[in-house]
Amino acid sequence: MSAPIRLLLADDQHLVRGALAALLELEDDLEVVAQVAAGDEVLAAVRRHRPDVALLDIEMPGVDGIEAARLVVAEDLGCRCLIVTTFGRPGYLRRAMEAGASGFVVKDTPAAQLAEAVRRVHAGLRAVDPALAEESLVSGASPLSAREQEVLRAAADGASVKHVSALLRLSPGTVRNHLSSAIGKTHTSNRSEACRVARENGWL
C-alpha cells in the first residue's frame, strides 16, 4: 500500500478545523500531519511537516489563504494548495488560481467530494467547484487596478484619506483619485459601498 497523502489544515476556526481533520482522517489514504490557525503560520508549517497538500481557508489572521498559497507555491516545496472556504466568490477563485492554488472548493462540499478534490490536487490535477467556475467566467476579471484594490483595502475600515495616504505613502490627492475611480468602477456612490461590492465579488 502506498503512503498516505499528507495534509496540512489552515483555518482560524478551531471547530471547523477539527471537523475537517476528523472527516479527512476517515479516509485510509489521507493523513493530517499539521494544523495551523493563521495564514502567516502556513509556510513555516509546510517547511517543517512537508505535507503533500495544504487545505487553506481564505479569511485568516496574518495573511489570507490566497497569499499563503502564493508563498507556498513560490518556495516550490512539493506542496500543492487547495482553497477550502465559506466564501464561494468568483473573484476569490480567480485570485486563488492566479496565486498558484490547484483547487478551490466551498466548505459545504460533501466529505467524499472534498477527499476526491484532495486526491486530484495531489495527482497534479485541478479541483474547482463547477458552479463557481462557471460564475467566475460569467462575471469576468476584477475591474479594479492593483493600486485601487490596495487603497480600498486600506480605507475599508473607515480610515481617513490622510491615514491611508500616510500608510501607503501616496499623496492625499492620489488616494482620492483612486477611491473615486474605484467607486466609479463598482457603480457605487461612496467608498464604503465600493468596499462592500469589491469584497462580495472577491476582488479584495
Average pLDDT over every residue of 15-25: 92
**Domain check: are 166 and 108 in the same one?**
no
Rounded CA separation 128/191 (Å): 32
Q: Among 139, 168, 192, which residue terminates a domain?
A: 139
Grid coordinates of 58: 481564505
69 pLDDT more than 60: yes
**Domain check: are 135 and 156 in the same one?**
no
pLDDT tens string 29-50: 999 999 999 999 999 999 999 9
Rounded CA separation 150/204 (Å): 8
178 pLDDT more than 70: yes
Q: Among 100, 117, 139, which residue terminates a domain?
A: 139
* Half-sphere CA count of 174, side-chain side, radius 13 A: 13
Average pLDDT over every residue of 158-177: 90
Contact (Cβ atoms closer than 8 angstroms) between residue 71 and residue 43 = yes
**Domain check: are 100 and 187 in the same one?**
no
Q: Among 139, 155, 175, which residue terminates a domain?
A: 139
**Domain check: are 119 and 163 in the same one?**
no
At 136 the pLDDT is 59
Contact (Cβ atoms closer than 8 angstroms) between residue 39 and residue 58 = no
**Domain check: are 111 and 187 in the same one?**
no
CATH number for 98: 3.40.50.2300
Average pLDDT over every residue of 101-119: 91
Handedness of CA 57, 123, 7, 30 (dihedral sign): positive
Contact (Cβ atoms closer than 8 angstroms) between residue 186 and residue 193 = yes
1 pLDDT more than 70: no
% of the chain surpassing 70 pLDDT: 94
Average pLDDT, the chain: 89
Q: What is the 3-state secondary structure (H, E, C) of 93-151?
A: HHHHHHHCCCEEEECCCCHHHHHHHHHHHHCCCCEECHHHHHHHHHHCCCCCCHHHHHH
CATH number for 169: 1.10.10.10
Contact (Cβ atoms closer than 8 angstroms) between residue 77 and residue 90 = no
At 139 the pLDDT is 58
**Domain check: are 151 and 168 in the same one?**
yes
pTM over 0.75: no
**Domain check: are 24 and 80 in the same one?**
yes
Count of domains in the chain? 2
User: Worst-scoring range by mean pLDDT, 45-49, 74-78, 140-144?
Assistant: 140-144
**Domain check: are 150 and 135 in the same one?**
no
Which domain does 96 fall in, by range?
Answer: 5-139
**Domain check: are 20 and 51 in the same one?**
yes
**Domain check: are 180 and 110 in the same one?**
no
**Domain check: are 83 and 52 in the same one?**
yes
196 pLDDT more than 60: yes
Average pLDDT over every residue of 186-198: 86
Band (67; pLDDT cuts 50, 70, 90): very high
At 58 the pLDDT is 92
Average pLDDT over every residue of 81-98: 85
**Domain check: are 21 and 107 in the same one?**
yes
